[in-house]
């Protein structure tokens, strides 16, 4: 596993640590991102677009439902 702030976490995804982090633990690295620093998209084309959480950037991506390789425009976030 991986140690963060003196606590051992198993390999794999950690839903939430005591410090409100979401982490991924592997034999080579532990990558964490804060769960309280996200801007959640609220005003977008909900009929044609969908929200996807990007584990690498630790943020949300807005993509077209019929073509997830293309980004959608977000009008506002909270």
What is the spatial distance between Cα 34 and Cα 62, in angstroms, rounded to a whole number? 19
Mean pLDDT of 24-35: 81
Mean pLDDT of 48-62: 77
Q: How confident is the model at residue 35 (pLDDT cuts 50, 70, 90)?
A: low
- Do 68 and 52 belong together in one domain? yes
Is there a single domain that holds both residue 27 and residue 1?
yes
Q: Is 20 left (phi over 0), alpha (psi -120 to 50) or beta?
A: left
Residues 69 and 42 reside in one and the same domain: yes
Spatial separation of the C-alpha atoms in residues 38 and 19, rounded to whole Å: 15
CA atoms within 13 A on the CB side of 66: 3
> Is the whole model's pTM more than 0.75, yes or no?
no
State the total domains in the chain.
Answer: 2
């Amino acid at each position: 596993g991986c140690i963060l702030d003196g606590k051992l976490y198993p390999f794999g995804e950690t839903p939430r640590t005591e410090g409100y982090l979401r982490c991924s633990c592997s034999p080579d690295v532990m990558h964490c991102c804060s769960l309280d620093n996200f801007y959640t998209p609220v005003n977008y084309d909900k009929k044609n677009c969908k929200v996807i959480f990007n584990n690498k950037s630790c943020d949300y991506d807005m993509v077209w439902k019929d073509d997830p390789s293309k980004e959608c425009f977000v009008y506002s976030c909270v």
